[in-house]
């Protein structure tokens, strides 16, 4: 959203009106509703920046507020200033405004306090939360300038250096906005801590500045004004702002397309906001564990599509290149084999960097770092058919923690899909405590990278399925809401599986990827003649489940590669082959195990064909949760859109009231 400096500094402008204007623009741009705290922050910080611009004689620069990152609608830079330099060239400056009054380097051994973390608690801190005005407490943990994380009064988790956050914004703009892709020198970045003095953020100032990435405080306000004058000419910036906002955006590759390049250091996934905090927490844990020889556990919590796997792969590549003994553990065979396949494109030996959880039962394995993706799938015991050497009665969380000096768990309690899976924050913390391992403050990811970056869709889906935020929290019985169309992500309701299939074929012909997955409501027959049986039957429409063999069967890839290999569209996937992976368009067949009765979604054990999940040993409450989790996973695989079909007539009518866009 664009604004004027005079609006922010003129006393006749109502702050209430201005806050509402900003809130309206923010809602339109991001789909998110701003908080009272956020609106107060806008007025305070933007007014401070506007005063410096006016004093610098740069009141005609274009100020673009809460600029949405091209790769992630949920991530915004506070301000992008647009103008020209003394030679008339277009110039941009990304400004990260912080209301922090103090910050000090984080020492994990000093800050960690067992009493601060009740079982299952997650820090309820939003990305826009700002610190209180008192520096008390921050100084107690100060040490050298090598820290990756910093304690900020008023925040319940340590934060990355704001220059790291700023660099993510600048790098994203340079990599994806065509206007500056060939002119990286045109993008400057500034962190402005307008409420802080040098003495209260001394640890932050120990980091060497780069030529176009600077940090200023209230103590160096004059230097900030001078830097603005050095970068910008006092000319109007609205034309530059127009060119910037209307510039073409380079396509963003999928994460899987980048796996081999990340490991080989050819290109990288740019981390933003909460991802930066989480990544730096791991970096600090690794360094401190090396220094003192003790073990540490870091937990990163994030919903489907929040960027957990991107962090995991960036860590894997970075640490491996530094000669650190690191491996990637995946909770599903499909995820493990897909990542192995991509890594092998670069070097076959890289396949050994990826394993499934059961491999870490071996007590002789000793790593520096183990990155555990899909930790929610950790089982209470290990049983591997035909591989008894891996069988163990010990919880997999404990065997994973024992396997390395630093263990990083990435988890989402709403993606647990089998009765014996328990990789919640509570379970991980308990395992760490019983092994006497330092447990870091939980890092939570709140942005949405999949589903077109639409946080609206994820919240809408949670309401539809009755899923809460905390471990095992339920919203079953609450009313679902109508889907409010979001231009960044399409939600459509199919009138039949044939209509769904034809629609997705059209998307494939346009160059997009697509898959159809279904709830496990049809038996999976193993045909002795080796042909795939068309088990998934809806009326006259019949399709086979994904190929259960460990090799290609005609054009059908093995099930572990169903989501990524050619030929997968002709089979129907299930939650076990879809979890952790993504494609442009997701088709989802909701079976009779989840239907609407009396205006609410309910589960039906008798309609499930998954013998493990429907077992009498599984309580009704647990069964209900697992089925809802299953559809949550399936419905969040799409990057551009999802098409839904229900096999139940009453459920189709219910969904028709909520979803306007149809596929006929």
Residue 113 has pLDDT above 50, yes or no: no
| Same domain for 490 and 441 | no
For 72-91, write each residue's pLDDT tens digit. Answer: 888 899 999 999 999 999 99
Q: What is the pLDDT of residue 165?
A: 96
Distance, CA of 610 to chain centre? 29
Place 14 in a pLDDT band, splitting at 50, 70 and 90: low
Of 296, 277, 299, nearest in space to 151 by CA:
277
What number is the average pLDDT over the span 165-188?
96
Please tell me the least confidently modeled range out of 178-192, 464-478, 530-544, 644-658: 464-478
| Same domain for 136 and 73 | yes
Residue 202 lies in a domain: yes
What number is the average pLDDT over the span 53-65?
95
What number is the average pLDDT over the span 23-51?
79
Please tell me the least confidently modeled range out of 7-16, 79-88, 542-551, 628-637: 7-16
| Same domain for 463 and 413 | no
Element (DSSP H or E) covering residue 603: strand 600-603
Residue 118 lies in a domain: no
Place 620 in a pLDDT band, splitting at 50, 70 and 90: very high
Residue 115 lies in a domain: no
Instruction: From 429, 445, 461, give the residue that closes a domain.
Output: 445
Residue 41 lies in a domain: yes
Q: What is the pLDDT of residue 393?
A: 80
| Same domain for 291 and 182 | no
Residue 622 has pLDDT above 90, yes or no: yes
| Same domain for 174 and 72 | yes
Q: What is the pTM of this model?
A: 0.85
| Same domain for 483 and 441 | no
Count of the separate structural domains present in the chain: 3
Residue 33 has pLDDT above 70, yes or no: yes
Distance, CA of 519 to chain centre? 25
Residue 21 lies in a domain: yes
**Between 5 and 70, residue with greater pLDDT:** 70
What number is the average pLDDT over the span 632-648?
97
- 3 state SS of 594: strand
| Same domain for 412 and 508 | no
Q: What is the pLDDT of residue 362?
A: 74
How many Å apart are CA 357 and CA 365, to the nearest integer? 12
- 3 state SS of 413: helix
Instruction: From 246, 277, 309, give the residue that closes a domain.
Output: 246
Q: Which CATH number fits the domain that encloses residue 316?
A: 3.40.50.300
| Same domain for 378 and 515 | no
For 216-242, write each residue's pLDDT tens digit. Answer: 999 999 999 999 999 999 999 999 999
Please tell me the least confidently modeled range out of 310-314, 341-345, 382-386, 547-551: 382-386
Residue 37 lies in a domain: yes
| Same domain for 313 and 393 | yes
Residue 125 has pLDDT above 60, yes or no: no
| Same domain for 497 and 390 | no
| Same domain for 136 and 52 | yes
Kindly state the percentage of the chain with pLDDT values over 70. Answer: 87
For 130-151, write each residue's pLDDT tens digit. Answer: 333 333 333 333 334 468 999 9
Strands 367-373 and 404-411: what pairing? Answer: parallel
N- to C-terminal Cα distance for the chain? 38
Q: Which domain holds residue 279?
A: 255-445
| Same domain for 383 and 277 | yes
For 151-174, write each residue's pLDDT tens digit. Answer: 999 898 999 999 999 999 999 999
Q: What is the pLDDT of residue 650?
A: 97
**Between 4 and 591, residue with greater pLDDT:** 591
């Amino acid at each position: 959203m664009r604004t004027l400096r005079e609006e922010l500094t003129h006393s006749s402008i109502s702050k209430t009106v201005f806050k509402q204007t900003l809130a309206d623009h923010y809602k339109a741009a991001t789909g998110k509703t701003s908080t009272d705290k956020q609106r107060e922050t806008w007025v305070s910080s933007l007014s401070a920046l506007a005063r410096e611009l006016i004093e610098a004689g740069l009141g005609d620069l274009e100020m673009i507020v809460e600029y949405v990152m091209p790769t992630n609608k949920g991530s915004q830079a506070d301000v992008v200033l647009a103008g020209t330099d003394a030679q008339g060239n277009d110039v941009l400056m990304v400004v990260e405004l912080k209301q922090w009054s103090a910050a000090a380097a984080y020492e994990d051994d000093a800050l960690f306090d067992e009493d601060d973390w009740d079982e299952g608690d997650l820090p309820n801190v939003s990305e826009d939360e700002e610190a209180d005005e008192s520096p008390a407490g921050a100084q107690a943990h100060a040490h050298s300038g090598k820290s990756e994380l910093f304690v900020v009064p008023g925040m319940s988790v340590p934060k990355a250096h704001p220059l790291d956050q700023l660099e993510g914004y600048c790098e994203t703009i340079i990599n994806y906005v065509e206007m500056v892709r060939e002119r990286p020198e045109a993008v400057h970045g500034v962190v402005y801590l307008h409420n802080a003095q040098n003495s209260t953020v001394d640890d932050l100032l120990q980091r060497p500045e780069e030529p176009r990435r600077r940090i200023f405080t209230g103590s160096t306000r004059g230097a900030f004004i001078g830097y603005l004058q050095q970068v910008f000419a006092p000319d109007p910036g609205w034309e530059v702002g127009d060119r910037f906002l209307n510039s073409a955006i380079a396509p963003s590759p999928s994460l899987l397309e980048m796996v081999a390049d990340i490991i080989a250091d050819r290109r990288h996934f740019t981390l933003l906001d909460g991802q930066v905090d989480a990544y730096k927490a791991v970096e600090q844990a690794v360094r401190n564990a090396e220094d003192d020889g003790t073990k540490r556990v870091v937990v990163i919590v994030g919903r489907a599509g929040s960027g957990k796997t991107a962090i995991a792969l960036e860590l894997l590549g970075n640490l491996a290149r530094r000669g650190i003994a690191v491996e990637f553990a995946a909770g599903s065979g499909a995820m493990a084999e897909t990542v192995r396949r991509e890594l092998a494109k670069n070097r076959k030996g890289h396949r050994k960097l990826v394993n499934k959880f059961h491999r870490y039962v071996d007590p002789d394995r000793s790593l520096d770092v183990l990155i555990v993706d899909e930790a929610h799938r950790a089982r209470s015991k290990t049983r591997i058919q035909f591989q008894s050497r891996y069988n163990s009665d010990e919880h997999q969380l404990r065997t994973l923690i024992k396997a390395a000096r630093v263990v990083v768990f990435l988890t989402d309690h709403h993606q647990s899909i089998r009765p014996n899976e328990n990789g919640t924050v509570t379970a991980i913390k308990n395992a760490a405590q019983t092994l006497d391992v330092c447990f870091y403050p939980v890092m939570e990811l709140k942005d949405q990278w999949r589903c077109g970056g639409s946080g609206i869709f994820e919240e809408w889906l949670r309401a539809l399925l009755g899923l809460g935020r905390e471990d095992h929290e339920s919203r079953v019985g609450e009313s679902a809401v109508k889907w409010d169309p979001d231009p960044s992500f399409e939600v459509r309701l199919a009138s039949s599986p044939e209509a769904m299939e034809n629609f997705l074929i059209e998307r494939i012909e346009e160059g997009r990827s697509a898959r159809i997955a279904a709830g496990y409501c049809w038996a999976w027959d193993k045909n002795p003649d080796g042909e795939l049986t068309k088990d998934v039957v809806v009326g006259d429409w019949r399709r086979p489940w994904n190929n259960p063999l460990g090799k290609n069967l005609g054009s059908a890839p093995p099930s572990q590669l169903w989501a990524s290999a050619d030929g997968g569209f002709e089979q129907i996937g299930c939650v076990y082959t879809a979890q952790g992976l993504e494609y442009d368009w997701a088709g989802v067949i909701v079976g009779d195990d989840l239907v609407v009765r009396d205006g609410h979604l309910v589960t039906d054990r008798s309609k499930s064909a998954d013998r493990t999940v429907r077992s009498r040993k599984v309580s009704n409450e647990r069964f209900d949760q697992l089925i809802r989790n299953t559809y949550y996973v399936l419905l969040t695989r799409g990057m551009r859109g999802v098409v839904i079909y229900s096999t139940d007539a009453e459920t189709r009518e219910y969904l028709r009231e909520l979803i306007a866009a149809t596929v006929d």
